[in-house]
Amino acid sequence: MSFPSPPPFIFASRRETGYNIDSHIPIFKGVTHMAGLSGICNHEQAANMVYLMLLAMQHLGEATAHIVSSDKDELRAEGGNGLIEKVFSEEKIQKELSGVHAIGYNSQIKDDRRSFVGKMYGGFSICMVGRIKNAFKLRAHLENRGALFQSDSDSELLAHLIAQSKEVDFFMGLHSAFGRVEGAYAFLALNNGRLYAGRDKLGYWSLHIGKLQGSYVVSTETCAFSLIDATYEGEVLPGQIVVISNGPQAIQKLTQTVFASEPRRAGCLMDVIYNARPDSVVFGRTVAVARHDIGAQLYREYPVAADLVLPLLDSTKEIAVGFHWESKIPLGVGLIRNHYIWHSLSDPKNYRDIKRRIKFNPTRELLAGKRVALIINSILRGERAEYLIALLKSSEVGAREVHLLSGCPFPLDACEHGGYSPPKSELLSSRVTIDMLGQHFKNADSVGVISLEGLLKAIVDKGNEFCVSCLSGKPTEF
Q: Are residues 232 and 377 in the same domain?
A: no
- Beta bridge partners of residue 419, listed in sequence order: none
pLDDT in tens, 415-444: 888 777 788 888 999 999 999 999 999 999
Q: Are residues 281 and 414 in the same domain?
A: yes
Q: How many domains does the chain have?
A: 2
- CB-based contact 418:129 (threshold 8 Å): yes
CATH number, domain with residue 47: 3.60.20.10
Q: Is residue 6 part of a domain?
A: no
Q: Are residues 51 and 167 in the same domain?
A: yes
Q: What is the pLDDT at residue 279?
A: 95
193: left (phi over 0), alpha (psi -120 to 50) or beta: left
- pLDDT-wise least confident of 136-140, 181-185, 193-197, 352-356: 352-356
Domain that holds residue 346: 275-472
Q: Are residues 282 and 258 in the same domain?
A: no
pLDDT in tens, 340-365: 765 555 556 655 666 666 778 889 99
Q: Is residue 351 part of a domain?
A: yes
Residue 253 has pLDDT above 60, yes or no: no
Spatial distance between the Cα atoms of 450 and 65, rounded to a whole number of angstroms: 35
DSSP string, 73-105: S-EEEEEEES-HHHH--HHHHHHHS-SSEEEEE
pLDDT in tens, 199-234: 998 899 999 999 998 899 999 999 999 999 999 999
Q: Are residues 312 and 188 in the same domain?
A: no
Q: Is residue 4 part of a domain?
A: no
- CB-based contact 292:321 (threshold 8 Å): yes
Residue 254 has pLDDT above 60, yes or no: no
- CB-based contact 201:178 (threshold 8 Å): no
Q: Is residue 56 part of a domain?
A: yes
Provide the sign of the torsion angle of the four alpha carbons 433, 465, 35, 184, taken in this order.
positive
Q: Which one of 232, 263, 294 terminates a domain?
A: 263
Q: Is residue 2 part of a domain?
A: no
- Beta bridge partners of residue 101, listed in sequence order: 41, 70
Return the H-helix or E-strand segment holding 472.
Answer: helix 469-472
Q: Which one of 263, 297, 331 terminates a domain?
A: 263
Q: What is the pLDDT at residue 34?
A: 75
Q: What is the pLDDT at residue 70?
A: 93
Spatial distance between the Cα atoms of 457 and 452, rounded to a whole number of angstroms: 8
Q: Is residue 1 part of a domain?
A: no
CATH number, domain with residue 296: 3.40.50.2020
Q: Which one of 207, 229, 263 terminates a domain?
A: 263
Q: Is residue 434 part of a domain?
A: yes
Give me the mean pLDDT over the 10-25 stretch.
28
pLDDT in tens, 141-186: 999 988 888 888 888 899 899 988 888 889 999 988 988 998 899 9
Q: Are residues 320 and 258 in the same domain?
A: no
Q: What is the pLDDT at residue 175?
A: 87
- Which candidate, 392, 423, 41, places its Cα nearest to that of 230? 41
Residue 231: other Cβ atoms inside 10 A: 12
Q: Are residues 153 and 282 in the same domain?
A: no
Residue 123: other Cβ atoms inside 10 A: 20
Q: Are residues 217 and 281 in the same domain?
A: no
Q: Are residues 228 and 374 in the same domain?
A: no
User: Which residues, 6 or more positions from 174, have their beta carbon under 8 angstroms from its beta carbon?
Assistant: 162, 189, 196, 198, 241
Q: Are residues 169 and 215 in the same domain?
A: yes
Number of residues that make up the chain: 478
Instruction: Tell me what percent of the residues of the chain surpass a pLDDT of 90.
Output: 54
Q: Is residue 3 part of a domain?
A: no
Q: Are residues 98 and 215 in the same domain?
A: yes
Q: Are residues 195 and 280 in the same domain?
A: no
